Structure 1
Amino acid sequence: MFRKFGLFAGLNQTKRLLDVQQPNHHLPMLDAVHEVAIYIHRFHNLDLFEQGWYRIKVTMRWEDSDTDDSYPGIPARVVQYEAPEVGADNLCRVWIIDDTDNSFSTPPFRIRYARQDVFLCIMVSFYLSFGGDEGKAVILKFELLRTSTPDIGPELQSSLDACAASVHEYRIPPKALLGLHSYCPVYFDSFHAVVVDTSIHISLLKPGYHTPRPKVSSYTSDSWASEGKAYEDNVESNKAMFIKALISAHDILLEDLRRISKGINQAIDLTGITFKPAVTKSPNDTSPAHAKIIDDEAPLQLSNSMQVSAEKAEHYINHISKDSFQPLPWDDILNTFQSVGNQLLYLWNTFLKFHRENKTKIMDFLQNSWANDRRTEWSIWMVYSKVEMPHQYMSNGVERTSLYRSMHGRSSSTTRRLINDPVQTAIMRAELHRRGIAQMRINNRSLQDMYIFGDPLRVPIIIVERLENMYRSASVNSYLIPSEEKAIHIVENGSRAIKMSENSPQRNEHVLRVVVFVHGFEGHHLDLRLVRNQWLLIDPKIQVLMSKTNEDKTYGDFREMGLLLAQEVISFLKRKMDKASRSGKLKDVKLSFVGHSIGNLILRTALAESIMEPYLRYLHTYVSISGPHLGYMYSSNSIFNSGLWLLKKIKGTQCIHQLTFTDDHDLENTFIYNLSKMKTLANFKNVILLSSPQDGYVPYHSARIELCPAASSDFSKQGKVFLDMLNNCLDQLRTHSDHRVVLRCDINFETSSYGRGFNTLIGRAAHIEFLECDIFVRFIMWSFPELFR
């Protein structure tokens, strides 16, 4: 059964949530419900592949239960808290509640172009039956529905069936069901790149209590008495659970009101609210309860009836705190239940009114809090460390070997083999961390994204190394903190960093921010769209160039590809700068680059072109995704090396000759050796090198720009040339600036899902995973948002 309602219509239905058979007694039953208010603010289209009419469907269920007795969430009311643009032809006027699955669907809206915003501004409130103390969690499910007939106008869209295009789920832990106020970004899959700005507000409320109706029964008097005794024992054991849960929900809601009020610098009117007495108060203390206040300025006055109820609540709390099983009079229990429940309900309604008056400020505050919390939550899969920037490597073999060992630590007889193989060392380190995650019990009061928390062991492990010079001041040490101090320090400094960024004078000035994405060998200009989408979420005002100029030319000479890219970038920059200058507000330009595979060599070649020299002072952040910066001189993948040999022999691919140093008989005249001499990395304020030990397409040391065991023991001219290239690149990464950041990020994918196919054997699976997985991108970007703004 469908129920459709107009744009400004309201719904306030009353349903009995616990649809179960109860024994036939006149003893009142205590009830409680979780109210889950979902504010669906904005639908932002990053990159949907198809135009048409879309809608968002929302359902709720108990975790691990899809049966009828799971008591799913029931839509209780809908509020259009802000009117969309009148007369807009991209929004239907009807939303739907479906009684068959207790779902809510937003009005259909039309998507016509990328980066389009649709402001839905609608709130749906679900009721969930009280889950008790067994620790049940709730799955909040968002479905992206698309109409198969997009040409029909908005007046008929609500009557058409829509198919599910994508799904995203969040898990609401048991602790969060007692109280939560959180921003909740809803992402869908890479083929439906959108983000739905929502916020979730939850509290446990008292709907009332009821007395089961008497029925004609066939029980004997003995069985009736036995059942009645068991029923009363069950009621007695559950009433303490209800009262304690309501008290906890009261405390959480009050604390969240304080936090939000302080965060948006807006006072909340709590006049007339009475607060429960403290649970820890001594049972022998007969002094009256005192009111708590949100601003700590003046106490609230309690009426006589409220004061009596508060004292009875205190008496019952002290009674159950002593684990006494002696039943209390039902009048006292019900008065306590009513007192605490009424206070909680009043607080909840006060919040809803406060939200209506400050909805934009509250959304911004929750969104900033969510961004800061990502650093702590995602640190589960991230390992942070600080390492000293390597010194100049010497050509002498003895000195070279000793430096390599000092960099990786002294080896014992049992670990020397692993230390001499950095790839295996990185894999083992990540595997040990993954085993630690398997033993964790993640039990917090935050929403859990099921795309990540659905199977935590399949999430990539990221080992982040900050390269620092010895002379670097302590002011920048906040980027990477030891594990035991990391969580607290990151939250504090992260919050401070975001506030400084928002209060910066340049925030109100026009700063042109451009990010150029360069694909790899035989790549497509949309290969890096997942990185682009995350960057757009962090900084929606960036101008994006997905380079197309070399899309069909990656078999050629790097010099030619670099020149074409330089011309493409300059043309794009000039258009954007001219447009900004006409408004007279252009203050600065920040130019960032992201490259995948050989795209990193193409973009570095472009930066070495003379026509790019005027723009080098604008360079900001450089993200290298598995880039072969040192070529394939010491590639250990024999299968892949055979493929490179075939490409050179059969197709005569020039860039492969350059990658393997066969483009000239003299190694010191080869392309990559000469590229290392050019200051292509020196002008970036931030350099991030992403690598993976599972990537067999790019040598591990080449992506990380570091020494490898084979080079450390090679005393030939080839070893000397490699060391020269390495030193040239490291010289560009060294800096005397206190604000420059150089990171090595080691991405360790969970490879059990790859199987034993040919792609896994040759190392291609992990190389392509950089383009098809966006979890590691989220982790890095939201852990270091300062580098991408």
Structure 2
Amino acid sequence: MLRRLGWLIGLSQRSRQAKKTLDAKPYVARVKPVLMIDTVQEIAIYIHRFHNLDLFQQGWYQLKITMRWEDNDNKSSGIPSRVVQYEAPDSSSGDSYGVWRIDDKDNSFLTQAFRIKYARQDVRLCTMITFTLPLEKYQGSATCAVILKFELLYSPSMENVLAKPLDASPAAVHEFRIPPKALTGFHSYCPVHFDALHSVLVDVSVHISVLKSAAYRRPAIQSSDASNGEKVTGGSVQASNKELGQMASADKKLVSFVKALLRARDIMLEEMQRLSKAAGQAIDLTEFISTMNDVLLFDSAPTGKSVEDEGSGQGKEQVSLEKLNGCDLQSDGWLCSLTKDHLSRLFNLLGGQLQYLWSAFLSYHRDNNTRVMEYLHDIWTKDRRAEWSIWMVYSKVEMPHHFINSGMDESSQHGVHKRVPSLLKSNDPAQVAATRAELHRRSIAQMRINNRSIQDMHIFGDPMRVPIVIIERVWNAPRRTFSDNSYLRHVDMIDSSLHYDDEIRRKKSGSNPTQIGRELKVVIFVHGFQGHHLDLRLIRNQWLLIDPTIEFLMSEANEEKTHGDFREMGQRLAHEVVSFLRRKTDKYARYGRLKNIKLSFVGHSIGNIIIRTAIADTSMEPYRKFLHTYLSLSGPHLGYLYSPNSLFNSGLWILKKLKNTQCIHQLTLTDDPDLRNTFFYKLCKQKTLENFKSIILLSSPQDGYVPYHSARIESCQQASFDNSKRGIAFLEMLNNCMDQIRAPSHERSSQQQQRVFMRCDVNFDTTTYGRNLNSFIGRAAHIEFLESDLFARFIMWSFQDIFR
């Protein structure tokens, strides 16, 4: 009891002593504003122009742009923080109204409204929008992609609108994915095409950097220091340890922020120097670069000692960016040795440098936006071949000198067959090609696409749904005996095509300067059976994107007239083409001397037979020497003499018997009892392919409407084992066609040039077709050539010089 009483008295005394201490020295809370150590993502979108390729509906249009992180379901979107209008919109014509605006509800940017009245109309927008995205949870540099979304808004009103708001609704959407690798710093051209029903081109460039956040934290409250040598209680020790742990974590986080800014600064400097050199207008950063590495990061204390070393006797500590630039960014060793105060100052200095560079770039871009856009467009064009090679398989095959009845199918000599793994037991070339494409599609499913380029979600959104294109470059070998077989050389197709591109550029650069004049480039598009003149508009649009200077004709001469004789259809097309060429040559002659004509043809299905018939017409004789490129989309060049699709053959038989369709008789070589007197046999003997400089044959093993071998102009199993008159006549037709392709093409200068001859297998994603009659009989793939333009992008942009 006495012991307990003594304990209570001691407690009371200690309480009174503590009270006196507090009365003598009251507790003081120190309030210190702390600069926020954080970074933000800056993404600038420059919209140069809106070009109408093929908008079917006139009216008012508007572009809406939003931005969000990929992993947060629209919860954190980019905020438009800066808008610069480079040029004032032309409102005098009444084709634009209003100004751009920002919608705070969804943090979207909307351009001014503009009216579209005709095809190939240009609308200059010339607007730079900068979006800011927080990087709070990524600790300096993003580990998540950004989704950039473009919406095309449409209002059908064609009347001039005044101050009332535009009642527009979404018509099409195009999304892009900016991968994390590009978010540290990147400059790229980014074309927006929308979809097949809204074929436009919006010239856009994207410019990315990481900047220091300009925000401040709320004032932090710190407890007063323990003074006069007072002992720290156990609770204070725990609090102190916790604070030390937080400081260590904060230092590590700060290191990652410094690394992010340093990397972004170096990328920004490199990109600015590259862009200024390409644009031919230098950015004066000499003084900035010369002083960048010599700036002392930390000022010394007035006593000549640093803050941390004050009283330690170690003297003044100075750290320069030159030392920082030499460190390994993959290891945090050197940065972690710095104190938190040093890291904070380093962070602020790098942030200031980045802000200076970013502002200098935006100012430079405003003065040189067209040159920068052109340069980035050229880089984008060159990179397409490498990016799209994911879905393309290249090979190079020697052209056989002659096809004979050897009892062996040419497919056994075919490059595709030799490269197929042994697990493929089928001898059917179409089945071999389809299986090979499916194996490649499965390999894509296991592929991790982790590039730095901006990804078009029309393609990268679901890579398994993209067509697989197998490109076979066929080249002429020295003349050999008839018994020799074709063989495959494992040559990289990309290298050979690059060699071809280089040769074309060399010839252009070395052209005779005395040949001054304009060049007329004409492309004729011919539809197929019961087709429409706009069937090939997607191919036309891709060609226009590659070469906007072409003059094109969407043939209407045989629209609703494809049931008759091919000779009549070819004659109608020939007269239509000659009339078109005369109008264009007269127009060009009025503006100067016409130097040359390049005449190209694109045909779908039996449109290819109409094209070849038209070329054989006498009215086309003066223009045959100008033939340049021939692009065949699933054309039955050898007819239906050997057609494996029994269901489709039944349909052909019905058309012949019930409707007496003349072109079907000619396709099946039943228009004359003697095969050598049939239309197709005689067509193959005429020189309809010999004058083309480039021939590209597109086929699909999924196409049941056109025999696979006929679209590719090659032999088949049935013909190889058929020693009857039918088989012999077929091989004679085949050899006549191949002799034309094998013959050297002739330029106007009479110099021989190696012809470009390619076979391209397009394998579509059949899972999108569903189970219906079209997919069962093979019509779905036949029509897909007209409704999908991805395969055309791959082929035409990978071999651009062929289409220029």
TM-score by length of 1: 0.86
Once the 2 structures are TM-superposed, how far is the Cα of residue 482 of structure 1 from its aligned partner? 6.6
Q: Is the 8 A contact 2:66 2:150 kept in 1?
A: yes
When the two chains are superposed, the root-mean-square deviation of aligned CA atoms in Å is: 3.3
Q: Is the 8 A contact 1:400 1:712 kept in 2?
A: yes
2:718 maps to 1:710: yes
2:136 maps to 1:146: no
The 3 A distance-change label for structure 1 pair 169 and 417 is: closer
Output the CA distance in 2 between the equivalents of 1:316 and 1:742. Answer: 53
2:217 maps to 1:195: no
Aligned partner of 1:109 among 100, 108, 114: 114
Counterpart of 2:427 in structure 1 is 420
Once the 2 structures are TM-superposed, how far is the Cα of residue 233 of structure 1 from its aligned partner? 4.4
Output the CA distance in 2 between the equivalents of 1:404 and 1:413. Answer: 12
Greater Cα shift, 463-472 or 163-172: 463-472
SS of 1:76 mapped into structure 2: strand
Report the number of matched residues.
728
2:446 maps to 1:439: yes
Output the CA distance in 1 between the equivalents of 2:152 and 2:40. Answer: 28
Aligned partner of 1:452 among 459, 467, 473: 459
1:192-231 superposed matches below 5 A:
192-208=198-214, 210-213=216-219, 231=246
Output the CA distance in 1 between the equivalents of 2:335 and 2:545. Answer: 55
The 3 A distance-change label for structure 1 pair 493 and 605 is: closer
The 3 A distance-change label for structure 1 pair 174 and 402 is: closer
Greater Cα shift, 628-637 or 334-343: 334-343
Q: Is the 8 A contact 1:170 1:448 kept in 2?
A: yes
Counterpart of 1:751 in structure 2 is 766
The 3 A distance-change label for structure 1 pair 387 and 318 is: closer
SS of 1:682 mapped into structure 2: coil
SS of 1:368 mapped into structure 2: helix
Output the CA distance in 2 between the equivalents of 1:413 and 1:565. Answer: 41
Aligned partner of 1:381 among 380, 387, 391: 391
The 3 A distance-change label for structure 1 pair 224 and 481 is: farther
2:189 maps to 1:183: yes
Counterpart of 1:607 in structure 2 is 615
Counterpart of 1:14 in structure 2 is none
Once the 2 structures are TM-superposed, how far is the Cα of residue 760 of structure 1 from its aligned partner? 0.7
1:181-580 superposed matches below 5 A:
181-208=187-214, 210-213=216-219, 231-274=246-289, 289=293, 310-311=320-321, 314=324, 321-323=331-333, 328-394=338-404, 397=405, 399=406, 401=408, 405-407=412-414, 415=422, 418=425, 420-471=427-478, 486=494, 509-580=517-588
Q: Is the 8 A contact 2:252 2:336 kept in 1?
A: no
| Equivalent residue letter for 2:284 | D
Greater Cα shift, 173-182 or 497-506: 497-506
Q: Is the 8 A contact 1:550 1:565 kept in 2?
A: yes
Once the 2 structures are TM-superposed, how far is the Cα of residue 246 of structure 1 from its aligned partner? 1.2
Once the 2 structures are TM-superposed, how far is the Cα of residue 419 of structure 1 from its aligned partner? 5.4
Q: Is the 8 A contact 2:98 2:163 kept in 1?
A: no
Counterpart of 1:295 in structure 2 is none
Once the 2 structures are TM-superposed, how far is the Cα of residue 677 of structure 1 from its aligned partner? 0.4
The 3 A distance-change label for structure 1 pair 336 and 673 is: same
| Equivalent residue letter for 1:781 | M
Write out per-residue CA displacement over residues 543-569 of structure 1, whole angstroms, 9 at most, x where no aligned residue.
110011111111111011011110111
Q: Is the 8 A contact 2:193 2:202 kept in 1?
A: yes
| Equivalent residue letter for 1:135 | T
Q: Is the 8 A contact 1:276 1:310 kept in 2?
A: no
Output the CA distance in 1 between the equivalents of 2:717 and 2:326. Answer: 71
SS of 1:170 mapped into structure 2: strand
Once the 2 structures are TM-superposed, how far is the Cα of residue 355 of structure 1 from its aligned partner? 1.6
Output the CA distance in 2 between the equivalents of 1:491 and 1:87. Answer: 48
Output the CA distance in 1 between the equivalents of 2:796 and 2:498. Answer: 15
Output the CA distance in 2 between the equivalents of 1:336 and 1:413. Answer: 58
Q: Is the 8 A contact 1:236 1:327 kept in 2?
A: no
Output the CA distance in 2 between the equivalents of 1:61 and 1:367. Answer: 25
SS of 2:628 mapped into structure 1: strand
Output the CA distance in 2 between the equivalents of 1:52 and 1:151. Answer: 9
| Equivalent residue letter for 1:637 | N
Of the two, which has the highest radius of gyration? 2
Counterpart of 2:174 in structure 1 is 168
Output the CA distance in 2 between the equivalents of 1:502 and 1:116. Answer: 32
Counterpart of 1:682 in structure 2 is 690
The 3 A distance-change label for structure 1 pair 302 and 412 is: closer
Once the 2 structures are TM-superposed, how far is the Cα of residue 356 of structure 1 from its aligned partner? 2.1
2:46 maps to 1:31: no
Once the 2 structures are TM-superposed, how far is the Cα of residue 665 of structure 1 from its aligned partner? 0.8
The 3 A distance-change label for structure 1 pair 50 and 730 is: same
Once the 2 structures are TM-superposed, how far is the Cα of residue 211 of structure 1 from its aligned partner? 2.8
Output the CA distance in 1 between the equivalents of 2:321 and 2:424. Answer: 71
Q: Is the 8 A contact 1:54 1:111 kept in 2?
A: yes
| Equivalent residue letter for 2:730 | F
Counterpart of 2:785 in structure 1 is 770
Output the CA distance in 2 between the equivalents of 1:123 and 1:481. Answer: 50
Greater Cα shift, 619-628 or 134-143: 134-143
Q: Is the 8 A contact 1:393 1:400 kept in 2?
A: no
Counterpart of 1:595 in structure 2 is 603
Output the CA distance in 2 between the equivalents of 1:210 and 1:120. Answer: 36
Counterpart of 1:122 in structure 2 is 127
Counterpart of 2:101 in structure 1 is 96
| Equivalent residue letter for 1:458 | R
Q: Percent identity?
A: 55
1:615-654 superposed matches below 5 A:
615-654=623-662
5+ residue gaps, structure 2: 1-30, 224-234, 301-316, 480-487, 745-751
Once the 2 structures are TM-superposed, how far is the Cα of residue 374 of structure 1 from its aligned partner? 0.6
5+ residue gaps, structure 1: 1-23, 278-288, 291-300, 473-479
Once the 2 structures are TM-superposed, how far is the Cα of residue 440 of structure 1 from its aligned partner? 1.5
SS of 1:272 mapped into structure 2: helix
Output the CA distance in 1 between the equivalents of 2:117 and 2:544. Answer: 19
Write out per-residue CA displacement over residues 274-333 of structure 1, whole angstroms, 9 at most, x where no aligned residue.
4799xxxxxxxxxxx56xxxxxxxxxx999979966349729957993547967433201
Q: Is the 8 A contact 1:408 1:419 kept in 2?
A: no
Once the 2 structures are TM-superposed, how far is the Cα of residue 34 of structure 1 from its aligned partner? 1.5
Q: Is the 8 A contact 1:312 1:332 kept in 2?
A: no
Output the CA distance in 2 between the equivalents of 1:345 and 1:95. Answer: 26
| Equivalent residue letter for 2:48 | H
SS of 2:648 mapped into structure 1: helix
Once the 2 structures are TM-superposed, how far is the Cα of residue 161 of structure 1 from its aligned partner? 2.9
Once the 2 structures are TM-superposed, how far is the Cα of residue 418 of structure 1 from its aligned partner? 3.8
The 3 A distance-change label for structure 1 pair 653 and 449 is: same
| Equivalent residue letter for 1:374 | R
TM-score by length of 2: 0.84
